[in-house]
Structure 1
Amino acid sequence: MTLKQHMRFWAIALVVFIIFLVLLSNILLPFVLGMAVAYFLDPVADRMENAGLNRTAATAIIIGLFVILAILIIMLLVPVIIEQFLGLLNNLPGYYQSLHDFFLPIIDRFVDIPAYQQSEEFKKTIGQYMGEVVKGLGTLSKNIVGGGLAVVNMVTLLVITPVVAFYLLRDWDHIVDRIDSWLPRKKAGQIRMLAGQIDDVLAGFVRGQSTVCLLLAIYYGIALMASGLEFGLVIGIVTGLISFIPFVGAIIGFVASVGVALVQFWPDALMIGIVGAIFVVGQILEGYVLTPNLVGEKVGLHPVWVMFGLLAGGSLFGFVGVLIAIPMAAVVGVLSRFAIDQYLQSPLYGAPPPVDPDSAPED
């Protein structure tokens, strides 16, 4: 098979794969989550298997503990988060009005704001508009949580995901060996090398960053709740969970927390400062302790590339696209670096041909 035929085959395979994702994106979520759980927990299963435990028994123990933990979190934490989230939505108009009244005199010292924008009518109109928006968001959230279709989808997700994770985790090594047997024999070594690099990037980023996000969610949630901040638990957990988007999670969490603190604690500057200090400590903890030790600095995923991958995946495939964005970004990153290395060593770049040591002239 010629190079042109190889390229045509893989191009067709890529197009078919993308069409498959687009057409079946609505049902892929439990399978993608199951695969992610299996990949995340495979090292644990390997350690238990090396310790002498049967692979099936190890998988059953791991998935069983994972399901129990997930159920406990859903039963204990999710209702509190939903209650705080709906309460935050209902209080947004009041927060807006308070912040408007707080910042308007400060801004007016530096910017000449038209009188109509300072009028009671303007503030009333904006307040009503914000109220309608928040009311709509609250209704939508309640429908999402309480809707029959959402309940069916949630039950399906909770049932299918552990089953998929169990079978994939149990048969992970066999699946890898089977895929390895399908590799083109002439390029098998090169493909294994690239697959190893991709696995290193994914292991460093997905497993490491997931742990970082979980620890940050626990830290921010407990710290903000302990400070007495209204809705501190939901703000802290959301901040931690979206910290995998570089800088975005910290900025959103900081703005939301300090905004609520200004309304709740003003003029107590000490309490506002404590809320701000929580995020300063969190950023120091993330940048100098968690990320270097759990993620590492050589995963090869630039923050801009991560943000682009998340936005592109979400735009193309919705929530499933967000889940597969980082793995796809890792694959594209590794393959791009490999392609650049090949180009730099090719005649197309103008690099000198490699010197054969056996044919080198003797002195």
Structure 2
Amino acid sequence: MRARAIIGLSILAVLIFLLYELREVMLPFVAGLALAYLLDPLADRLERLGLGRLAATLIILAGFVVGFVVLLIIVVPLAAGQIAALVNTLPGTVSRLQAILVERAGPLLERLGGKEVVGELQSSVGTLVGQGGTWFLAFLKSLWTGSQALVSIASLLVVTPVVAFYLLHDWDRMIAALDRWVPPRHRPTVRRLAGEIDGAVTGFVRGQSLVCLILGSFYAVGLFMVGLNFGVLIGMISGFLTFIPYVGTLTGFLLSVGVALAQWWPTGDWLHIGLTVGVFVVGQFLEGNVISPKLVGDSVGLHPVWLMFALLAFGSLFGFVGLLLAVPVAASIGVVVRFGIERYLESRLYRGDGPLLVGETEAARLPTRD
């Protein structure tokens, strides 16, 4: 048992080391693997309808590539223009927010600590905003430079569909081969764990993707109807970041409220400020009570804190490749840990009926009275 554990840990360490060293060229292959994994159920369904595996694979990937190209041509330029405009207006928005804060809180702070406190407040707010912007830009830069494939867009767009095509075409054969490699006496356990991991990953990714799409559309439409500047862009950002629990809603709320205050506070338009807040209140209520329970459910087994840690840690270590691997790795670790705890609770070590440990006596195992 000890030898097998050492061998397994050694193999895992080598794989992690290779992934880290090759992270700059891994993105197209990891993206192709993820794409094949997510599209395999659709290919199986087309096979059941009478299509061959090759035809089903070609149809699925052709549709995906066409949709992706349309997205790049139409949506990306619009979003890029909106992001550039938002970045250009952000300093002015921050300045107006500082002025509003000093105007409203300044007299109270002057009575409490003098004009020096007001000056320190302005300096602290400016420093905080500047540091936050610097950190965000540095994080985006680390994701961009962390994988050379992002710099070479042609590599990502050309290699990924080819990898996905071959993996999707041979997916069932590869799974069957992996199953044959497992020792027969361990196959039921391995199949059970693989099924739980598959259920957790697919349940979260597909369900949370729909949640992101629905909430992003809701926030974008709601903020647009309210009349908020860059409302559509803020709604899209909120929906995209909803993949990380609570981060999307909090980010969108802070951005929208800040823009709303800078836009409507000088005119005293409290109605539109309240409507902006109301959009996120309604969206959060729908997400927590209707959308997420229906689409994601509680059976996924990914705790929000564990998921956030996995995304940030893997993104920091491996760049964009880490973001693709974070969810399946986090789900796999969660399933294995739950399985280990289950086996421990069933073991003689937990029940106390195994052989005596070093220094242990029979009296120590006798039940005690409260």
- Which of the five TM-score ranges fits, normalised by the shorter chain? 0.7 to 0.9
**How is 1:123-138 mapped onto 2 (pairs within 5 angstroms)?**
none
Which is further off, 170-179 or 213-222? Answer: 213-222
**How is 1:125-274 mapped onto 2 (pairs within 5 angstroms)?**
153-266=152-265, 267-274=268-275
Q: SS at 1:36's partner residue?
A: helix
What TM-score results when the alignment is normalised by the length of structure 2? 0.85
Distance in 1 (alpha carbons) for counterparts of 2:121 and 2:310: 40
Contact 1:90–1:134 at 8 Å: present in 2 too?
A: no
1:25 alignment counterpart:
23
1:278 alignment counterpart:
279
Which is further off, 6-15 or 108-117? Answer: 108-117
1:320 alignment counterpart:
321
Distance in 2 (alpha carbons) for counterparts of 1:13 and 1:122: 54
Distance in 2 (alpha carbons) for counterparts of 1:317 and 1:40: 21
What TM-score results when the alignment is normalised by the length of structure 1? 0.86
1:82 alignment counterpart:
80
Identity over aligned pairs, percent: 45
Q: Cα 1:122–1:277, aligned 2, differ >3 Å: closer, same or farther?
A: closer
Q: Cα 1:101–1:28, aligned 2, differ >3 Å: closer, same or farther?
A: same
5+ unaligned residues in a row in structure 1: which ranges? 354-363
Distance in 1 (alpha carbons) for counterparts of 2:15 and 2:85: 43
The CA deviation at 1:136 is: 12
Size of the aligned set, in residue pairs, is: 346
Q: Note the alpha carbon deviations across 1:173-212, whole angstroms, 9 max, x for none.
A: 1111111111122211111111011111111111111221
Contact 2:24–2:149 at 8 Å: present in 1 too?
A: no
Distance in 2 (alpha carbons) for counterparts of 1:135 and 1:20: 31
Distance in 2 (alpha carbons) for counterparts of 1:73 and 1:256: 25
Contact 1:220–1:239 at 8 Å: present in 2 too?
A: yes
Contact 2:238–2:252 at 8 Å: present in 1 too?
A: yes
Distance in 1 (alpha carbons) for counterparts of 2:121 and 2:135: 21
1:357 alignment counterpart:
none
Q: Cα 1:130–1:192, aligned 2, differ >3 Å: closer, same or farther?
A: closer
Contact 2:219–2:238 at 8 Å: present in 1 too?
A: yes
Distance in 1 (alpha carbons) for counterparts of 2:132 and 2:285: 36
Which is further off, 309-318 or 242-251? Answer: 309-318
2:35 alignment counterpart:
37
Q: Tell me which amino acid in the other structure corresponds to 2:304.
A: P
Contact 2:93–2:262 at 8 Å: present in 1 too?
A: yes
Q: Tell me which amino acid in the other structure corresponds to 1:12.
A: S
The CA deviation at 1:228 is: 2.2
Q: Tell me which amino acid in the other structure corresponds to 1:298.
A: S
Q: Cα 1:114–1:43, aligned 2, differ >3 Å: closer, same or farther?
A: farther
Distance in 2 (alpha carbons) for counterparts of 1:13 and 1:38: 25
Q: Cα 1:117–1:74, aligned 2, differ >3 Å: closer, same or farther?
A: farther
Contact 2:25–2:149 at 8 Å: present in 1 too?
A: no
Contact 1:42–1:172 at 8 Å: present in 2 too?
A: yes
Q: Cα 1:250–1:113, aligned 2, differ >3 Å: closer, same or farther?
A: farther
**How is 1:58-137 mapped onto 2 (pairs within 5 angstroms)?**
58-108=56-106, 111=109, 112=112, 114-116=114-116, 118=118
Distance in 1 (alpha carbons) for counterparts of 2:123 and 2:9: 58
Contact 2:98–2:125 at 8 Å: present in 1 too?
A: no
Distance in 2 (alpha carbons) for counterparts of 1:338 and 1:304: 20
Q: Cα 1:109–1:180, aligned 2, differ >3 Å: closer, same or farther?
A: farther
Distance in 2 (alpha carbons) for counterparts of 1:317 and 1:171: 27
Distance in 2 (alpha carbons) for counterparts of 1:331 and 1:322: 15
Q: Cα 1:21–1:4, aligned 2, differ >3 Å: closer, same or farther?
A: same
The CA deviation at 1:71 is: 1.0
Q: Cα 1:184–1:327, aligned 2, differ >3 Å: closer, same or farther?
A: same
**How is 1:291-330 mapped onto 2 (pairs within 5 angstroms)?**
291-330=292-331
2:358 alignment counterpart:
none
Q: SS at 2:29's partner residue?
A: helix
Contact 1:313–1:324 at 8 Å: present in 2 too?
A: yes
Q: SS at 2:351's partner residue?
A: coil
Output the aligned Cα RMSD: 3.0
Q: Cα 1:15–1:223, aligned 2, differ >3 Å: closer, same or farther?
A: same
Contact 2:27–2:149 at 8 Å: present in 1 too?
A: no
Q: Cα 1:133–1:192, aligned 2, differ >3 Å: closer, same or farther?
A: closer
The CA deviation at 1:215 is: 2.2
Q: SS at 2:319's partner residue?
A: helix
Distance in 1 (alpha carbons) for counterparts of 2:43 and 2:215: 26
The CA deviation at 1:256 is: 0.3
Distance in 2 (alpha carbons) for counterparts of 1:243 and 1:133: 20
Which is further off, 50-59 or 277-286? Answer: 277-286
Contact 2:47–2:53 at 8 Å: present in 1 too?
A: yes
